[in-house]
Structure formats: C-alpha cells, structure tokens
Amino acid sequence: MTRHLPDLSRRSLLQLAGASLLAGASSASFAQAWPKGTLRFISQSSPGDAVDLRLRDFVEHLGPHLNGVSRIVDNKPGAGGVIAAQSLLSAEADGQTVFLGNASMTILPSYHRNLPFSPQRDFTPVALSGQAPNALAILATRPEKTLGAWLESARKRQGGLNYGSAGTGSPGHLYGWQVSDEFGLKAEHVAYRGQVPTLVDLVAGRLDYIVMDIVSMRPFIEKGDLRVLAVAADERSKYLPDVPTFKELGYAGYDRLGWTIYFMKAGTPAATVTKLAQAINAVNGSPEWEKKRILQWSDWQPLTPTQLEARVKRELEAWGGIIRRGNIHA
C-alpha cells in the first residue's frame, strides 16, 4: 500500500519558498559584510619571535584580499598553546577572531586530562599556514653517519642517553620518547623552554639526540653543527634530499608533520570560513611567499577545511596512542 502525504496548500508552498530565500539571503549578506571590523589574529608565540614576525608579515599581505580591513596580531603565549586557544574559545563565532595554532593542538587533548576545549568540537580549521617534517638529529661531530650505526652505538650506552625538547608534551618530547621506547634506548627526557636552548645544548654536546622540525633546525644544519639521520614523513624532504625517511628504513609510525593552521571558532558561517581560506591561500600561493618558504625550509599545500579536519582527526588519534602507551600526562 502506498501512503500519501497530505497536499500542501499554495500559500504554504509560497511561505516555505520565501523562508528559504530569506535564509539564503541572510547567509549571503553576512558573508558579503564580513569582515565587518578589525580582524584579530591570535598567536601562541611570544612577540618578536620568528613565528610572530612571519605571522605579522603574512597578516600585512592579507589586506588587499580582505578589502583593506584593519588587522591586528594578539600574542597569547604560554601553557603550550592552551591560553591562545582559550582566547578563541571565548570569542564570538562571527569570523572576526582567527587563531594560528600548531601541531600541539592534536597533542593537548590527550596530554591534559581536563583540557577546557576540544579542537574537533570547538574549532574549525580554515587554511594551512605552513608545514615541515620533524627529523632525528645528532651532533655532527659524532662518528655515526646513518640511523642504523647510531642506534647500534646508542644501545651500548643505555642508561646514559638523553634527548631534549622544547617542553613536556611537545612533539619533540613525544617523538623523542617514541624513538627511545621503540629502539630500546632508555633515554632520559630533558625539557627546555623553547627550541633554541634545546638546539644550543645539543650542539654543546649536553644532549645525545633530538627530534625537531627542520625549519627550527635549519640554521644549525646549514652551519654544519647537526647531522640529520632520518626524517619523519611519508617522503623525503626536498631540503634534505639525501636523508632517508623512517619509513624508507622500515620503521612505521613516524609521519606526523610540524604545521601551523588558521582556525576559527566552530559555528562560524561556512561562507566566512571559505572567504578567509581563499584570501590566505591567495597570499600563500604567490611567488613572493613561495620564495620565503624556500628560505625557511617550509612547505605548503592549498588544503581545504575538510582535508585539514581529516588531518587533525588522524593526528589526534596518533599522538593519543603515543601518550597512552607512554603514560605521558601533564
């Protein structure tokens, strides 16, 4: 038997059509009005550091793509990005506040037992700012030239090995622990307040190894102070073409990149997210910014918000597995 629904009156149909048109017009008018005032870009870096200076330069170049609206950078350093993320959480979902987050956003939910936000639930990824692989590096004066040779030597020195990172719960901390655990090194973690002091102590011979993004290590690699033994990525870096990946060497699970992504608050109109993504990608795709990335050893792809959501989800699961396995918590 076929069940028939009651016929809608002509008036009802017209009312429904009118409501749909109004909703569409409202969304379109909001997108056209955006940005409607000063855009605030929240940064988890300190004023004047390398990331902050690059962000300010980039935000300046966004102007022509956003009708010349005023733009400011608001630095909220500390707590591994939690303070900056909470600043976005407390803002309206109107597209006027943007947060430049990094890969720590996929570590924090597992590392902190009572994190006051969820990157998946509370934030919407807009566009990729940049990315670079992490890599395992040792002092260049060490005699070992390959990962295999270094591991053989390191295992003989069990109990006296250490590795450094930019802080507890950082990618370098967790990658360093993964190397120690999976290769049986029993290395001790030394936490620093930032990447530069970590690198300085590695060069000074006070650390045995680090796992860090190649953008941060670049000046020390170019000077010949460090030797990179393996890159944590699916493919070799064009900046280190002679260095194999962990994957090439037969070791899975070393593929989580260092990255920065622009986020808006969840609930921001999709048209606004799209408009900002288009502006960011226009600047990032310019020849000028391609030259700047090459100098920094940074990469970029015009990933969509959906693709970025998939990356965040995948890395939340991967980092969460490492943290649970090592029982590493704040």
Q: How high is the pLDDT of residue 76?
A: 92
Q: How confident is the model at residue 11 (pLDDT cuts 50, 70, 90)?
A: low
CATH architecture entry for 134-232: 3-Layer(aba) Sandwich (3.40)
Burial of 235 (0-12, 13-18, 19+ CB in 10 A): exposed
* pLDDT tens, residue by residue, 121-176: 999 999 999 999 999 999 999 999 999 999 999 999 877 899 999 989 999 999 99
The whole-model pTM stands at 0.86
**Residue 211 pLDDT more than 70?**
yes
Angle formed by the axes of helices 305-326 and 270-284, to 10°? 90
Q: b/e for 284-309, b at 16 or more Cβ within 10 A? A: beeeebeebbeebbbbbeebbbeebb
Question: Do the domains 35-131+257-326 and 134-232 sit in the same CATH topology, yes or no?
Answer: yes
* pLDDT tens, residue by residue, 67-101: 899 999 999 988 888 999 999 999 999 999 999 99
81, 105 contact by CB (below 8 A): yes
Residue for token digits 């793509």? 65
Q: How confident is the model at residue 106 (pLDDT cuts 50, 70, 90)?
A: very high
Homologous superfamily (CATH) for 35-131+257-326:
Bordetella uptake gene, domain 1 (3.40.190.150)
Q: How confident is the model at residue 15 (pLDDT cuts 50, 70, 90)?
A: low
* pLDDT tens, residue by residue, 17-53: 454 444 444 444 445 688 888 999 999 988 888 888 9
Joined together, the tokens standing for residue 74 give 């608001």
Parse the chain into domains and list their residue ranges. Answer: 35-131+257-326, 134-232
